[in-house]
């Protein structure tokens, strides 16, 4: 596909990098010469210096011939204007990053008039991800399939876990809740396990289960299932502004520490049910004074990654049960591991992954094409949701008689809203949707690509 990206900042660069890897023709436009030079020297994409909202620059970028134009500059107005102009020039699909809360609310009404195929709000997406993780604290990450009826969740295996030392073939006799271990990460390497695989302490596992049984699963595994009620947020930016009303509505008590007085006044008016503290939350004395050790969860959300990491390490040291840390630089996550957070939340990565999923959906428009894609294990594995149609091979055959390609696992079947963790006697029927897990980089564009050649 031909894709024009306007804006070479954090999200624009990440998008260009991700989409170029998938062999799309990318043109990146930015009005900062240094950014254009850096992208040109770092990535295998075309670059163009100029204002992406100017008609002559869009014409130079051949927006009229593009399949998709993505505007992710730092200014909402520039992004929206760029999308309107691109549609006028003949580009059929446009995506805009829109961070202003008021604009976001208006987009539902004006989406068609603005010519938008999709609007992305990185901070709102990050807030929703944090809220979901706070509802069931045992999970490090949650990805949704089958219209919310099934999830793949990430868990850590401790030495005292009921799963430690268990061979996956024996899992059904140990755990009553329906579940399937579909990916195991051990010493930094991701495996698609078979029944002979034995879990060990220190493993990270990705488990498929019906969404309705997730709480029961935490009980079975003797994990913390009670959602966090006392929550401390350090940094009163947009993510804090978005996530706080969600938490308060769920019955949580929220305390926000923000250093800027003007921002504190705004938050106090906008979030009257939250406790707003005007102070420097990076100082340990301040955190201690506001009872960090007695919090159920701490969310470091300042604008500085290094500050968030240090706050997170201190929260972990004093025994805070749940820690969600915002970072922008992905390399910090690779270095940090799990030492400074239960979950690392990157707005740019969440946004870029959402856009990449949209691009893949545009590419795969056949009846048996991908419906949903989520990356697992830091991109080492993927979970793909497919529709089963009359054109799907092996309909009605027991799964035990069907041979899949190596490194592919059938993780879940959704049949008319009923979630099935597949067994050998189950079958595929037209109208089902299925979730397939495999290692990243496999060329699987159609459900029939998962079957071994006969």
pLDDT per position as a tens digit, 133-144? 898 888 888 888
Quick count: other Cβ atoms within 10 Å of Cβ 298?
A: 30
Between CA 392 and CA 385 the distance in angstroms is 14
Between CA 157 and CA 168 the distance in angstroms is 14
Helix (H, G, I), strand (E, B) or coil at 410: strand
Residue 359 pLDDT = 85
**Same domain (yes/no): 15, 88:** yes
**Same domain (yes/no): 161, 244:** no
Between CA 281 and CA 247 the distance in angstroms is 20
**Same domain (yes/no): 137, 175:** yes
**Same domain (yes/no): 150, 253:** no
Q: pTM to 2 decimals?
A: 0.82
Residue 148 pLDDT = 84
In a domain, 32, yes or no: yes
**Same domain (yes/no): 110, 135:** no
Tell me the mean pLDDT in the region 219-231: 82
Of 120, 144, 164, which residue sits at a domain end? 120
**Same domain (yes/no): 134, 92:** no
Between CA 411 and CA 425 the distance in angstroms is 14
| pLDDT score of 365 more than 60 | no
In a domain, 348, yes or no: no
| pLDDT score of 121 more than 80 | yes
| pLDDT score of 75 more than 70 | yes
Name the pLDDT band for 336 (thresholds 50, 70, 90): low
Q: Which residues are CB-neighbours of 34 under 8 A, at least 6 positions away? A: none
> What is the CB-side half-sphere exposure of residue 255 using CA atoms within 13 A?
20
Of 220, 240, 265, which residue sits at a domain end? 220
**Same domain (yes/no): 135, 241:** no
Domain coverage including residue 204: 128-220
Q: 396 or 329: whose pLDDT is higher?
A: 396
| pLDDT score of 229 more than 60 | yes
In a domain, 27, yes or no: yes
In a domain, 105, yes or no: yes
Give the domain CATH number at 299: 3.40.50.720
Residue 364 pLDDT = 61
| pLDDT score of 368 more than 60 | no
Among 68-72, 202-206, 218-222, 315-319, the least confident range: 218-222
Tell me the mean pLDDT in the region 5-16: 93
Phi/psi of residue 208, nearest 5 degrees: -95, 135
Tell me the mean pLDDT in the region 418-430: 92
In a domain, 328, yes or no: no
- The percent of residues in the chain predicted with pLDDT above 70, rounded, is 93
| pLDDT score of 454 more than 80 | no
CB 298 within 8 A of CB 232: yes
Burial class (CB in 10 A: 0-12, 13-18, 19+), 308: buried
CB 127 within 8 A of CB 243: yes
**Same domain (yes/no): 113, 139:** no
Q: Which residues are CB-neighbours of 312 under 8 A, at least 6 positions away? A: 298, 300, 323, 325, 340, 341
Name the pLDDT band for 366 (thresholds 50, 70, 90): low
**Same domain (yes/no): 167, 255:** no
Write out pLDDT tens, residues 276-311.
999 999 999 999 999 999 999 999 999 999 999 999
Give the domain CATH number at 446: 3.30.70.1450
- Provide the domain count of the chain: 4
Name the pLDDT band for 22 (thresholds 50, 70, 90): confident
In a domain, 352, yes or no: no
Between CA 398 and CA 277 the distance in angstroms is 60
In a domain, 246, yes or no: yes
| pLDDT score of 158 more than 80 | yes
Of 220, 245, 266, which residue sits at a domain end? 220
| pLDDT score of 119 more than 80 | yes
**Same domain (yes/no): 26, 91:** yes
Which helix (H) or strand (E) segment holds residue 372: the answer is strand 370-376
**Same domain (yes/no): 152, 241:** no
Residue 256 pLDDT = 98
**Same domain (yes/no): 6, 96:** yes
Q: Residue 2 has which token pair?
A: 């031909």
Residue 280 pLDDT = 96
Residue 335 pLDDT = 62
Average pLDDT, the chain: 89
Question: Alpha helices of 196-237 — where are they, by DSSP H?
Answer: 214-220
Distant-in-sequence contacts of 266-271, Cβ < 8 A, 24+ apart: 267/236, 267/240, 267/241, 270/241, 271/241, 271/244, 271/245
Name the pLDDT band for 92 (thresholds 50, 70, 90): confident
Among 23-37, 145-159, 286-300, 323-337, the least confident range: 323-337
In a domain, 340, yes or no: no
Q: Which residues are CB-neighbours of 294 under 8 A, at least 6 positions away? A: 230
Residue 361 pLDDT = 73
Q: Residue 258 has which token pair?
A: 């923000």
Tell me the mean pLDDT in the region 186-205: 90
């Amino acid at each position: 596909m031909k894709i024009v990206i306007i804006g070479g900042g954090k999200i624009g660069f990440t998008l260009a990098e991700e989409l170029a890897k998938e062999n799309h023709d990318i043109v990146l436009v930015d009005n900062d010469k240094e950014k254009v030079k850096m992208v040109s020297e770092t990535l295998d994409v075309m670059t163009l210096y100029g204002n992406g909202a100017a008609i002559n620059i869009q014409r130079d970028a051949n927006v009229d011939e593009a399949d998709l134009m993505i505007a992710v500059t730092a200014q909402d107005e520039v992004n929206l204007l760029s999308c309107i102009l691109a549609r006028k020039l003949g580009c059929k699909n446009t995506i805009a990053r829109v961070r202003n809360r008021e604009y976001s609310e208006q987009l539902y009404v004006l989406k068609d008039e603005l010519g938008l195929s999709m609007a992305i709000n990185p901070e709102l997406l990050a807030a929703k991800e944090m809220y979901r993780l706070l509802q069931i604290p045992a999970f490090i990450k949650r990805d949704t399939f089958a219209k919310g009826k099934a999830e793949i969740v990430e868990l850590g295996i401790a030495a005292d876990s009921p799963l430690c030392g268990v061979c996956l073939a024996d899992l059904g006799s140990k755990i009553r809740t329906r579940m399937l271990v579909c990916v195991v990460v051990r010493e930094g390497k991701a495996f698609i396990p078979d029944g002979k695989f034995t879990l060990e302490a220190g493993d990270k596992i990705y488990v498929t289960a019906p969404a309705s049984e997730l709480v029961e699963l935490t009980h079975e595994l003797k994990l913390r299932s009670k959602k966090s009620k006392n929550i401390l947020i350090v940094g009163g930016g947009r993510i804090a502004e978005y996530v706080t009303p969600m938490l308060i509505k769920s019955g949580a008590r929220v305390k926000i520490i923000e250093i800027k007085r003007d921002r504190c006044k705004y938050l106090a008016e906008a979030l009257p049910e939250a406790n707003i503290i005007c102070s420097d939350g990076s100082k340990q004395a301040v955190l201690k004074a506001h009872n960090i050790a007695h919090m159920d969860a701490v969310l470091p959300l300042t604008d500085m990654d290094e500050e968030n990491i240090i706050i997170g390490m201190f929260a972990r040291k004093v025994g805070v049960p749940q820690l969600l840390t915002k970072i922008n630089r992905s390399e910090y996550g690779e270095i940090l591991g799990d030492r400074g957070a239960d979950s690392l939340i990157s707005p740019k990565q969440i946004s870029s992954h959402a856009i990449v999923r949209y691009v893949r959906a545009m590419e795969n428009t056949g009846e048996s094409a991908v419906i949903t894609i989520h990356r697992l294990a830091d991109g080492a594995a993927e979970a793909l949701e497919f529709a089963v149609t009359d054109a799907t091979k092996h309909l009605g055959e027991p799964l035990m008689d069907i041979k899949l390609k190596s490194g592919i696992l059938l993780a879940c079947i959704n049949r008319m809203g009923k979630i099935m963790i597949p067994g050998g006697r189950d079958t595929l029927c037209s109208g089902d949707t299925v979730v397939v897990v495999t290692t990243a980089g496999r060329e699987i564009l159609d459900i029939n690509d998962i079957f071994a050649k006969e």
